[in-house]
Amino acid sequence: MSKTNFKDLYNPADFAQQGLLVFELLQDFLQNAQSEGSKTINYRSPEDELDFWKNWPNTHKEVAERQKIQALISSLFGHTNHIHNPKYIGHQVGAPLPINSFLGAATALSNNGMAVYEMGMAPTAMERIVTDWLCSKVGYGQNSRGFLTSGGTLANLTALLAARRAIIEEDIWHTGSTKKLGVMVSAEAHYCIDRAARIMGLGDQGIIGIPVNSNFCADATKLEEVYQKAVNEDIEVFAIVGSAPSTATGNFDSLEEMGAFAKSKSIWFHVDGAHGGAVVLSKKYKHLMKGSEHADSIVIDGHKMMLMPTLTTALLFKNGDDAHRNFNQRVEYLLHDTEEEDWYNGAKRTFECTKTMTSVYWYTILQVYGEKIFEDFIDRQFDLAKDFIKILDDHPSFEYFLPPDSNIVCFRYLFEGSQDEINQKNNSLRQLLLEDGTYYCVKTVLNKTQFLRVSLMNATTEVSHLKEFIEFTYKMAQKLV
């Protein structure tokens, strides 16, 4: 067997031919995803999917290289959820602007790791510009700073580490913790907050749940009671987390009240705005983030309500010094432990050493389309949720859980029977929808009640699609009556 000819693999002319082929496939995928007759998902069981990809090499053994690339990408598209289909109304993952495909190719080929400045000069500068812009939009002053990281989970963990370092007198980074520490957070907060607290070693006792009110938001009237109970158990509370919004219902905590409480106790106030933090760019819905300007840190995902691909998240700090004090380490070949800001060496501030050049997405969308594209998208999707509520109101067989703050709506079919029977039938209804694949929604449990849940993430979803979805769901439900 001859050795691999790497020169051929890096040949620009061959690459150009492959690129034309691939982008033709991307165009076909986008066109097919948006056609009225297409399905959102061709669901298979995990075992069947695993078997398909195990057998894929055997069915393409004799295929030439270029045809194999085409076949693989075609198979990939046929076996993934079509986020760009207007009938996709499922998880909180947005349909990224098609221009991101070109940007993704450019960043993958240039492959600058961004650990230190010279390994990512352009994306590092872009990141500073983008995060400074976001800081100004949330209402922070000139001393604020931010950076991009790989998703809300890492961003929230990093923020809570910064909170602990800023509030707790012990030098836990060097000596470890000897105290019982805790974080106050809504019982309906995203599970990544719970996960972050456990990673930090806080344990069950350190995750201090705030009861929710009738809107499934943190009950601000219970904050003092919850705090005092923790103090009486010798737990030092160092942070409180506001959800903007909660994951299940999409409703926003009262950030203003939580921020005032944090200030009164001299603890850190963090806002998990992974999904909804971008509303600071909307004049119509900015009020939902009122009080966030007083937060010590805020998380905003680019891949949820800002039209970017996964995975890119901004973590913003009101006090810029807090952005770079988490990970003080000396790495002779890469980093030096200093107290200076050193903003251009990203590995000093993030969990990642090597980091993807996601700032290119943010910067390019801003430069090509301007920030109004974000406002228009947020307004459109949040308004669409209100239109969906009207559709549900007009149908006698459905009810929704709560009027939405955002673009997330929970609803159910009103089957007859006991609570358990109704729950089981709504669960079965969602499974029928999944296996059919025309529409894609998800499910959740609220107050021990099973609901279907939609997140209106697609900029091509119209009111007509939602009307058709409810009629389709009604017909599916008749199979279970």
Q: Are residues 224 and 357 in the same domain?
A: yes
pTM for this model (two decimals): 0.94
Q: Are residues 352 and 384 in the same domain?
A: no
Q: Name the domain count of the chain.
A: 2
Q: Which two tokens stand for residue 134?
A: 């976001």
State the Cα–Cα distance between residues 16 and 106, nearest whole angstrom.
Answer: 13
CB 218, CB 258: distance < 8 Å: yes
State the Cα–Cα distance between residues 37 and 421, nearest whole angstrom.
Answer: 33
Q: Are residues 160 and 276 in the same domain?
A: yes
> What confidence score (pLDDT) does residue 329 get?
43
> What confidence score (pLDDT) does residue 349 get?
83
**DSSP label at residue 247:** T
Residue where a domain terminates, one of 348, 369, 390: 369
Domain interval for residue 438:
372-477
Q: Which two tokens stand for residue 337?
A: 């432990």
Length of the chain measured in residues: 481
For residue 238, give the H/E element and its range.
strand 236-243
Q: Is residue 461 part of a domain?
A: yes
Strands (E), 402-472: 408-413, 442-446, 449-455
Q: Is residue 108 part of a domain?
A: no
State the Cα–Cα distance between residues 472 and 434, nearest whole angstrom.
Answer: 12
Q: Is residue 27 part of a domain?
A: no
Torsion of Cα atoms, 437 then 439 then 442 then 443, to 10°:
-100
Q: Are residues 431 and 350 in the same domain?
A: no
Q: Are residues 203 and 312 in the same domain?
A: yes
State the Cα–Cα distance between residues 261 and 185, nearest whole angstrom.
Answer: 13
Q: How many CB atoms lie within 10 A of CB 64?
A: 9
Q: Are residues 450 and 333 in the same domain?
A: no
Closest CA to 29 of 69, 90, 100, 84: 84
Q: Are residues 363 and 395 in the same domain?
A: no
Residue where a domain terminates, one of 311, 344, 369: 369
Residue where a domain terminates, one of 316, 347, 369: 369
State the Cα–Cα distance between residues 44 and 350, nearest whole angstrom.
Answer: 37
CB 223, CB 237: distance < 8 Å: no
Q: Are residues 381 and 235 in the same domain?
A: no
- Helix, strand or coil, per DSSP, at residue 183: strand
> What confidence score (pLDDT) does residue 341 get?
59
Closest CA to 157 of 132, 183, 123, 138: 183
Q: Are residues 395 and 364 in the same domain?
A: no
CATH code assigned at 243: 3.40.640.10
Q: How many CB atoms lie within 10 A of CB 357?
A: 25
Q: Is residue 351 part of a domain?
A: yes
Torsion of Cα atoms, 53 then 57 then 59 then 62, to 10°:
160
Q: Is residue 48 part of a domain?
A: no
> What confidence score (pLDDT) does residue 338 get?
52
CB 181, CB 238: distance < 8 Å: yes
Q: Is residue 99 part of a domain?
A: no
Concatenated DSSP letters of 190-206: -HHHHHHHHHTT-TGGG
For residue 471, give the H/E element and its range.
helix 463-477
Q: What is the pLDDT along the chain (481 residues), one digit of tens a residue?
A: 789 999 999 999 999 999 999 999 999 999 999 888 899 999 999 999 999 999 999 999 888 888 899 999 999 999 999 999 999 999 999 999 999 999 999 999 999 988 889 999 999 999 999 999 999 999 999 999 999 999 999 999 999 999 999 999 888 877 888 889 999 999 887 788 888 889 888 998 999 999 999 999 999 999 999 999 999 999 999 999 999 999 889 999 999 999 999 999 999 999 999 999 999 999 999 999 999 999 999 999 999 999 999 999 999 999 999 988 777 644 444 445 555 557 888 888 888 889 999 999 999 999 999 999 999 999 999 999 999 999 999 999 999 999 999 999 999 999 999 999 999 999 999 999 999 999 999 999 999 999 999 999 999 999 999 999 999 999 999 999 9
Q: Are residues 117 and 242 in the same domain?
A: yes
> What confidence score (pLDDT) does residue 331 get?
43
Q: How many CB atoms lie within 10 A of CB 215?
A: 17
Q: Is residue 362 part of a domain?
A: yes
Q: Is residue 91 part of a domain?
A: no
Q: Are residues 351 and 471 in the same domain?
A: no
Q: How many CB atoms lie within 10 A of CB 267?
A: 22
